[in-house]
A and B are shown apart, each in its own frame.
Chain A
Amino acid sequence: MTAIATKAQDRGATMQPVWGRTVLRNSPTFILMAVLGVMVIVPFLMLVFTSLVDVLPFSGEAEFNFTLSNYVALWAPALGHAIANTLVVSIGGTAIAMTIGCVLAWLAARTDIPFKPLVHLCGLMPLFISLVVASITWSLLAAGRTGYLNIIFDSMGLPFHINVQSLFGITFVHGLYYVPYPYIFVYSALTLVHPDLEEAAAVHGGSLSQSLRRVTFPLVKPAIVGAMLLVLVSTAEEFPVPSILGGPVGIETLSIRIYELATRVPGDPNQASAVSILLTAIVCMLVYTQRKILRGRDYRTLTGKGIQVRPIRLRWLKWIAVAFVGLYGFVALGLPILALIQGSIRGSLYIPNVAAFFDPKQLSLEHLIEAINSEEVHTGLINSFSAGILTAIFGGTLYFALAYVVNRTELKGRQILEYMSMVPLALPALVMGLGILWTWVSVPLPIYGTLAILVIAFATRFMPQGYRAVSSSISQIHDDLEEAAMIAGASRVQAVRRITLPLLRGAIVSTMFLMVVLSMRELTASLFLYTSNTRVLSIVIFEAYENGFWTSVASISLIYTTILVILTLVGRRWMRADL
């Protein structure tokens, strides 16, 4: 035993004073706060500042006056319309998405519907379709008389047309492509409700409908409310859909107004900032409501394991269910892809009748080949991939550091870090882009004009999702595992490297993969931030659309969508279905 005792004394020869460590110990919090401050808080303050002065922050004018005139100027009927339109398309879109998403989730999680993997695919896939592309394809399909669907209706002698260049169209496209959020939330909530809970209800005399109503629904209600508010917020700040479908016919939403004010010549960026603050206020209110409703009602981890549930038998209803899923899959995925193919292999845009769809003389691969060989597309693709991968690396590291400090240390200020990382939830992407622009444009660092600013924007935009994914995985790893390593003589860094990181590898890889896909899909956050050298693919498409190059729009969109679909299918293995 004496041998052991001397051994111990050797090892502990260095003694550190307590006070020396406290400064050192708190440094991670300081560093992270500084990083988040620059990423999240400064851009927002720049925006507030710009909305309150009469000159631009980067215009080089030293003189500025504080004024409320930017806000006073908001007080116009146009803004009232914009607010009303924003509410209509977001509330309507949310209603559609929630209905479809909840039904799909219930079918996939709890019933014996055939072709279950396809139901799952239908529920998740739209998440990886770019909304720019979706809006563009729906323009091809149903904008005015020349929309493909309307040509078909005409030829069938049907007396009606669909016009997606309308409030209804925007609402419809929102509803169609925001289905994955309620699907993911409700599906995972349903799979986590232990069947014992429902069986207990049955044992105590509840019928199926009673146990659904009294047990299942209350248990998944937080997930439903959570998804609903997320969709509401996202559709309220959505830019490409209303811009592409509403822009040509003069329908304005708040996000379009911000974009117009900021980019029009002569523009009024100060007023754009004021509108941004207004939009942010609306979004904040929604997020606050969500927090309030969900407070203390997070039932997601009812049990640790996925449970094999005895499915509810649909009997004859199952074919109706299959038809419902099939119809949704066809409308949300099938039709747009057909339209994209059709659009990209046409020689000319003009289609007189249905026969022309199949007339070989009118078909040509010219535009598609041109797009594939185009320098612009290559650069855009490389930029998209680079930005995506860099975002994944930068974001992955940052989210891990944040999640680690918040969950695993007792450093002061870690709660503040958590709140800061959630702020981007309440910042519309367009608004965030504007704020980031004004932050970096005035900084003499090679950030603006490079991919770095896009990476910063993407990492900020996806921070709430990424942080939460890593954080929930860390919190599932018992503290004891790391403490045991330190007891065994490992330093904190060694313990993290040898124990925590290997255990988190799956979660971090899946989060990073998601970051790549979401970054590649993102348009709105990059709208104010790209320069001629840093066009990403979504920007290339949006520019081509704005300039009216319809055939190349379809071709590039087809390439873009193919890449996203392949990425998603390849990455399915690593991606978990929780955001």
Chain B
Amino acid sequence: MSIEVRNLRKSFGNSAAVAGIDLDVPEGEMLVLLGPSGCGKTTTMRCIAGLETPDRGKISIDGRTVFDNQERINIPVNRRHVGMVFQSYAIWPHMTVFENVAFSLEMEGLGRSAIRTRVDKILELVGLEGFEERGASYLSGGQMQRVALARSLVMRPSVLLFDEPLSNLDARLRDHLRVQLREIQTQLKITSIYVTHDQREALALADQIMMMQEGEVLQMGDPVSLYNGPKTSEIAEFLGYSNIFEVNVVGERDGLCQLAFCEHARNLDAAFINRNGDRDLTACVRPDDVSIKPLPVTAGGDESSGVNAIAGEVILASFMGSHMQYRVRAGEHEIWEILCPEVNTEIRLGSNVLLEIDPAKIHVLPKQ
């Protein structure tokens, strides 16, 4: 076990930023802490780094206890030997790229030639060879990002921490660096914790994802099972389930359960249902699980022919390159979001369309 956190608590004033969290990151894996801003993910990470002192709990890195309030152990940040990439990059503007990267080795007391060799190797790894003597304030955002990564890697840390490292970059660079980051991390097998509020980044990078809110863990799992099996509609919404409606279960038929929308005149069939007691239920559908086709002009009122067929009018059609995004109004306030991989020129703004949803793709989830 490379990182082990038990019952971690940290409050600022009266509000608990982290309210008793346990987490384990196996050696060489990447754990992503995912959640909206203020959910405690960054605080958790800063506690592990040693930048915040927790109120209570226990943190071990590589089997070494670095914090334990009961045993009164608190190893200062500079002796924890963790690497960290900051959201702001935190590149020291008065130093060159080389000096930035060499800093931690200097602190370790390495000789000049050893430093030179290791820095050169890392700069090559992140694709910054030739930039050694460049002043750090003359770098682009992407380059600063790489320097920050090199600076953290060069110390061969026991643990690498990432605090939303890609959030200040533009979309293309972000995609590019995300791939590179995952490559380097899996190649070097560095135990990592990565904090983000972007669910796409989390899904792409993680071995395990821990979803947090208000200082607590909502759900934990590997990306695929988390994405396919959110426990609540709240989590589903955060993961990109953009069609969420409150429903009641009104009956069962042919192994399907029948749902009636609370606020709209709509009935759908769902394949499975995860009903916990009498909590409010919702139907959650991902936009790419809704199929869309032009409404046949001849077949007036033939809506009941298919299972879960919904007629509506396109109120937004937006071309996204690899796919189309549609917004369809099916009732007065009943709006559906659809992502469709094919571009169908017959479907335009104002077209009447038919939506179909496979009952197996409807997730019936409690709200919380």
A and B are interacting partners? yes
> Residues on A close to B: CB < 8 A?
1, 3-5, 7-9, 11-12, 14-19, 21, 478, 480-481, 483-492, 494, 498-499, 502-503
Q: Which of B61, B73, B84 contacts A8 (CB 8 A)?
A: B61
Residue of A nearest to B79 (CB): A12
14 chain-A/chain-B pairs, Cβ below 8 angstroms? A4-B158, A5-B158, A16-B74, A17-B74, A480-B87, A483-B84, A484-B86, A486-B76, A487-B83, A487-B84, A487-B152, A488-B151, A489-B107, A489-B155
Residues 54-79 of B contacting A (Cβ, < 8 Å): 61-64, 66, 69, 72-79
Q: Check if B62 sits within 8 Å of A9, measured CB to CB.
A: yes
Q: Shortest distance in angstroms between B184's beta carbon and chain A's nearest beta carbon?
A: 14
Q: Check if B64 sits within 8 Å of A9, measured CB to CB.
A: yes
**A503 CA to B74 CA in the complex, in Å?**
30
Q: Shortest distance in angstroms between A410's beta carbon and chain B's nearest beta carbon?
A: 9
Q: Check if B155 sits within 8 Å of A483, measured CB to CB.
A: no
Q: Check if B104 sits within 8 Å of A489, measured CB to CB.
A: yes
Q: Which of B51, B87, B93, B156 contacts A4 (CB 8 A)?
A: B156
**A12 CA to B65 CA in the complex, in Å?**
10
Residue of B nearest to A19 (CB): B72
Q: Check if A486 sits within 8 Å of B74, measured CB to CB.
A: no
Q: A5-B62, A489-B108 are in contact. Are A483 and B72 (CB under 8 A)?
A: no
B80 within 8 A of A: yes
Contacts of A494 in B (CB 8 A): 107
**A486 CA to B84 CA in the complex, in Å?**
10
Residue of A nearest to B62 (CB): A5
Q: A484-B151, A502-B94, A503-B94 are in contact. Are A21 and B74 (CB under 8 A)?
A: yes
Q: Shortest distance in angstroms between B10's beta carbon and chain A's nearest beta carbon?
A: 12
Contacts of B103 in A (CB 8 A): 485, 488, 490, 498
B92 within 8 A of A: yes
Q: Check if B78 sits within 8 Å of A8, measured CB to CB.
A: no
Contacts of B66 in A (CB 8 A): 12
Q: A12-B66, A21-B74 are in contact. Are A488 and B155 (CB under 8 A)?
A: yes
Which of the four size classes fits the interface of chain B?
A: 35 or more
Residue of B nearest to A488 (CB): B104
Q: Shortest distance in angstroms between A503's beta carbon and chain B's nearest beta carbon?
A: 6
Query: A487-B51, A488-B107 are known contacts; what are 7 more A-B pairs with Cβ within 8 Å?
Result: A7-B158, A8-B64, A12-B80, A486-B76, A487-B49, A488-B155, A499-B92
Q: Shortest distance in angstroms between B77's beta carbon and chain A's nearest beta carbon?
A: 5
B308 within 8 A of A: no
Contacts of B77 in A (CB 8 A): 483, 486-487
**A524 CA to B69 CA in the complex, in Å?**
55
**A15 CA to B75 CA in the complex, in Å?**
6
B90 within 8 A of A: yes
Q: Shortest distance in angstroms between B186's beta carbon and chain A's nearest beta carbon?
A: 13
Contacts of B93 in A (CB 8 A): 503
Q: A483-B51, A499-B92 are in contact. Are A1 and B189 (CB under 8 A)?
A: yes
Q: Check if B151 sits within 8 Å of A8, measured CB to CB.
A: no
Contacts of B63 in A (CB 8 A): 5
Q: Check if A484 sits within 8 Å of B81, measured CB to CB.
A: no
Contacts of A502 in B (CB 8 A): 94
B27 within 8 A of A: yes
Contacts of B107 in A (CB 8 A): 488-490, 494
**A483 CA to B89 CA in the complex, in Å?**
11
B157 within 8 A of A: yes
Q: Shortest distance in angstroms between B173's beta carbon and chain A's nearest beta carbon?
A: 20
Q: Shortest distance in angstroms between B328's beta carbon and chain A's nearest beta carbon?
A: 36
Residues 92-128 of B contacting A (Cβ, < 8 Å): 92-94, 103-104, 107-108
Contacts of B83 in A (CB 8 A): 487
Contacts of B359 in A (CB 8 A): none
Residue of A nearest to B190 (CB): A1
Q: Check if B90 sits within 8 Å of A18, measured CB to CB.
A: no
Q: Shortest distance in angstroms between A23's beta carbon and chain B's nearest beta carbon?
A: 13
Q: Shortest distance in angstroms between B81's beta carbon and chain A's nearest beta carbon?
A: 4
B28 within 8 A of A: yes
Task: Decide if the interface of chain A is mainly helix, strand, loop or mixed.
Answer: helix
Q: Mark B32-68, 1 if CB is under 8 A from A, else 0.
A: 0000000000000000010101000000011110100
Q: Check if B79 sits within 8 Å of A14, measured CB to CB.
A: yes
Ranked nearest first, the 9 interchain pairs of A and B with the lowest CB-CB distance are A488-B104, A480-B90, A489-B107, A484-B90, A8-B158, A8-B81, A17-B72, A18-B72, A480-B86
**A14 CA to B62 CA in the complex, in Å?**
16
B82 within 8 A of A: yes
Contacts of A21 in B (CB 8 A): 74
**A513 CA to B80 CA in the complex, in Å?**
41
Q: Check if B90 sits within 8 Å of A481, measured CB to CB.
A: yes
Q: Shortest distance in angstroms between A381's beta carbon and chain B's nearest beta carbon?
A: 37
Contacts of A1 in B (CB 8 A): 27-28, 189-190
Q: Which of A8, A481, A490 contacts B62 (CB 8 A)?
A: A8
Q: Shortest distance in angstroms between B17's beta carbon and chain A's nearest beta carbon?
A: 14
Q: Shortest distance in angstroms between A485's beta carbon and chain B's nearest beta carbon?
A: 7
Q: Shortest distance in angstroms between A479's beta carbon and chain B's nearest beta carbon?
A: 9
Q: Shortest distance in angstroms between A476's beta carbon and chain B's nearest beta carbon?
A: 12
B88 within 8 A of A: yes
**A492 CA to B72 CA in the complex, in Å?**
21
Residue of B nearest to A503 (CB): B94
Q: Check if B84 sits within 8 Å of A484, measured CB to CB.
A: yes
Contacts of B80 in A (CB 8 A): 8, 12
Residue of A nearest to B104 (CB): A488
Q: Shortest distance in angstroms between A409's beta carbon and chain B's nearest beta carbon?
A: 12
**A488 CA to B158 CA in the complex, in Å?**
12
Q: Check if A491 sits within 8 Å of B78, measured CB to CB.
A: yes
Contacts of B157 in A (CB 8 A): 4, 8
Residues 322-359 of B contacting A (Cβ, < 8 Å): none
**A492 CA to B78 CA in the complex, in Å?**
8
Residue of A nearest to B101 (CB): A488
Residue of A nearest to B107 (CB): A489
**A498 CA to B62 CA in the complex, in Å?**
30
Q: Shortest distance in angstroms between B19's beta carbon and chain A's nearest beta carbon?
A: 20
Contacts of A486 in B (CB 8 A): 51, 76-78
Q: Check if A11 sits within 8 Å of B73, measured CB to CB.
A: no
Residue of A nearest to B161 (CB): A487
Residue of B nearest to A490 (CB): B107
Contacts of B49 in A (CB 8 A): 487
**A8 CA to B190 CA in the complex, in Å?**
13
**A530 CA to B193 CA in the complex, in Å?**
63
**A18 CA to B75 CA in the complex, in Å?**
9
Contacts of A484 in B (CB 8 A): 84, 86, 90, 92, 148, 151
Q: Check if B79 sits within 8 Å of A11, measured CB to CB.
A: yes
Q: Which of B76, B84, B151 contacts A16 (CB 8 A)?
A: B76
Q: A488-B151, A489-B107 are in contact. Are A7 and B90 (CB under 8 A)?
A: no
Residue of B nearest to A478 (CB): B88
Contacts of B88 in A (CB 8 A): 478, 480
**A4 CA to B158 CA in the complex, in Å?**
6
Q: Check if B78 sits within 8 Å of A489, measured CB to CB.
A: yes
Q: Shortest distance in angstroms between B30's beta carbon and chain A's nearest beta carbon?
A: 14
Q: Check if A11 sits within 8 Å of B81, measured CB to CB.
A: yes
Contacts of B108 in A (CB 8 A): 489
Contacts of A483 in B (CB 8 A): 51, 77, 84, 86, 90
Contacts of A488 in B (CB 8 A): 78, 103-104, 107, 151, 155
